[in-house]
Structure 1
């Protein structure tokens, strides 16, 4: 009997030790804000289904697709892809610029950018380094440009802000004064902006699909084409949508995408239109998910990285 008790005691100690080791191995390490930091490489064993679902202690990403969708604005059916991402730490939302520089006004092929990001999910951002770019640009906490007031009054854009809590906010038809006021309020609330994009418009705000009219933006929202949208569904939970365009006249217009997002996720807090057409890119790991004709070099990407400790 005494021997049996001793065995049970030893067994309990072993189990407790393994639990403590498992907890240590599951540690989440916030990723430094520097743009040259890219997070932990996805684990091979984290791919539950290759090119479709990934999970480790810091992130879970699942790809969904609706094929042969009958878009009313398109000349034919299209494929809508969306990845739902849940993360443990806001630092896992990250951005990268081609050539790691805002000053080098040259894009790169996504195949050249994606491999070194250690991304679980990566997608295109706005047209941030185009020569005619006007907007508010912040990447990984560094303010790079503010010339919002160069837009004519009727052409002002919606600006997307991603803060250090991982929340997405839209400042509609923003001026520089609007941005100053928004960022001051954000700081008063104990938050700071980390990444800011100028493209848009907002497709969904607080679960309501916005009315997307021809003059809502300069970005041909009335045309059926390939599209990319970045959404926040809940705290540290997001979705990225892309719409395929097999050829000219195929895809989806902005209003249809807004309506589809709300139908799919009625709880969507924010959905924001990013650059589309040949710029539209969605990658899961090292595999491109979507299809868009006229593929272009891109100036930058938004991505989700693993924050697993790697121990």
Structure 2
């Protein structure tokens, strides 16, 4: 009897060792597979067939808009109508202003024959906010009359030039590899298993995550849409060159599109933020805020939306924030990214949105 009991106990003991060892190995692999092991994915070669030509002139200034109280720094301008659609339309001839932006602190400027960039620092809600004002200027036509369009301004890039899971690099590294003069972090698609991924007219992922996405169309306009209402194939056929899937939309048709208590997933109420906005075709803003430091608290989504609206954005969109929030300009990181929240350093991310130097 004792021998049988001892044998049974030994069998149970061996089973428990094997079971827990297997469970530990499986759990460890699952964690590595999810967060560490890079996976390079193949490409869905569906591509947008829409081609739009655009001629851009400079001239008249647009109207000034009143800013909410508490913001210091330059302000933009925009005319917006009632909120009936979520597309900022392009026109054949666009008039933009190229006056020097006045601000408390202008951190740097860049200009070439087709664009100007002015990077300024604002201060609001106990937070440093960095704004890159990007404008298409001049007669950018080439000898064969092909126009340098506003869509040519905004580009996207994957870390290591590769689409995949856990394929990451610091924003500054990917920026330098792509000859960028200005770059911000993107939507960090690689951290998610769902959400549309379209880059440079190529559909990489069509699985809906129910997100509110930003489509950058081939004419340079912005469109905010819901993945629950529009398929990846449909938005591609509508002329989407790039689709960023994070959200939410901050400003739609010149109106704030989030509530005062709205947040993203597990985001803190006040956080480092990254956003992109359009004032008119050919005029864009890239925005990054500091946060999680003694110097900067960070912004709520509503405060970010309010700030984007104050710049004159007709459409503005929230990108991945927190430790990912990074702005790179002219060879250096402008803001103070916090990575894990305990030190100032860049986080490696899946992708960037950028403006290239003129070759």
TM-score using structure 2 length? 0.61
1:59 to 115, 134, 156: 115
Residues 51-90 of structure 1 aligned to structure 2 (within 5 Å): 52-67=108-123, 69=124, 71=125, 77-87=126-136, 88-89=148-149, 90=151
Partner of 1:296: 347
Partner of 2:160: 99
| Secondary structure of the structure 1 residue equivalent to 2:113 | coil
Which of the pair has more CA radius of gyration?
2
Aligned equivalents of 2:202, 2:261: Cα separation in 1: 33
Quote how far apart the aligned CAs of 1:66 are.
Answer: 1.2
2:284 matches 1:230 = no
Asked whether the equivalents of residues 106 and 299 of structure 1 are also in contact (C-alpha less than 8 Å), the reply is yes
Asked whether the equivalents of residues 250 and 316 of structure 2 are also in contact (C-alpha less than 8 Å), the reply is yes
Aligned equivalents of 1:84, 1:306: Cα separation in 2: 15
Partner of 2:197: 137
Aligned equivalents of 1:91, 1:263: Cα separation in 2: 26
Aligned equivalents of 2:287, 2:172: Cα separation in 1: 19
Residues 72-221 of structure 1 aligned to structure 2 (within 5 Å): 77-87=126-136, 88-89=148-149, 90-103=151-164, 105-130=166-191, 132-148=192-208, 151=209, 156-172=210-226, 174-175=227-228, 177-184=230-237, 186=238, 192-212=239-259, 217-218=264-265, 220=267
Quote how far apart the aligned CAs of 1:304 are.
Answer: 1.0
Aligned equivalents of 2:243, 2:179: Cα separation in 1: 22
2:287 matches 1:270 = no
Asked whether the equivalents of residues 171 and 183 of structure 2 are also in contact (C-alpha less than 8 Å), the reply is no
Go from structure 1 to structure 2 and tell me whether the alpha carbon gap of 1:216 and 1:50 turns closer, same or farther (over 3 Å shift): closer
Asked whether the equivalents of residues 58 and 306 of structure 1 are also in contact (C-alpha less than 8 Å), the reply is no
Asked whether the equivalents of residues 106 and 118 of structure 2 are also in contact (C-alpha less than 8 Å), the reply is no
The one of the two structures with greater contact order (alpha-carbon pairs below 8 A, sep at least 6) is 1
Aligned equivalents of 1:292, 1:216: Cα separation in 2: 20
Structure number with the higher helix fraction is 1
Aligned equivalents of 1:183, 1:143: Cα separation in 2: 8
Task: Give unpaired runs (5+ residues) of structure 1.
Answer: 1-27, 29-48, 72-76, 187-191
Partner of 1:13: none
Matched residues, number: 237
Task: Give unpaired runs (5+ residues) of structure 2.
Answer: 1-55, 57-104, 137-147, 340-345
Aligned equivalents of 1:181, 1:110: Cα separation in 2: 30
| Secondary structure of the structure 1 residue equivalent to 2:168 | coil
Aligned equivalents of 1:94, 1:57: Cα separation in 2: 18
> How big is the alpha-carbon RMSD for the aligned residues of Structure 1 and Structure 2?
2.5
Quote how far apart the aligned CAs of 1:260 are.
Answer: 1.4
Comparing 272-281 and 245-254, the one that deviates more: 245-254
Asked whether the equivalents of residues 162 and 195 of structure 1 are also in contact (C-alpha less than 8 Å), the reply is yes
| Secondary structure of the structure 1 residue equivalent to 2:347 | coil
Go from structure 1 to structure 2 and tell me whether the alpha carbon gap of 1:65 and 1:177 turns closer, same or farther (over 3 Å shift): closer
Asked whether the equivalents of residues 172 and 328 of structure 2 are also in contact (C-alpha less than 8 Å), the reply is no
Map Cα deviations across residues 204-224 of structure 1 (whole Å, 9 max, x no partner): 01110112365664262x610
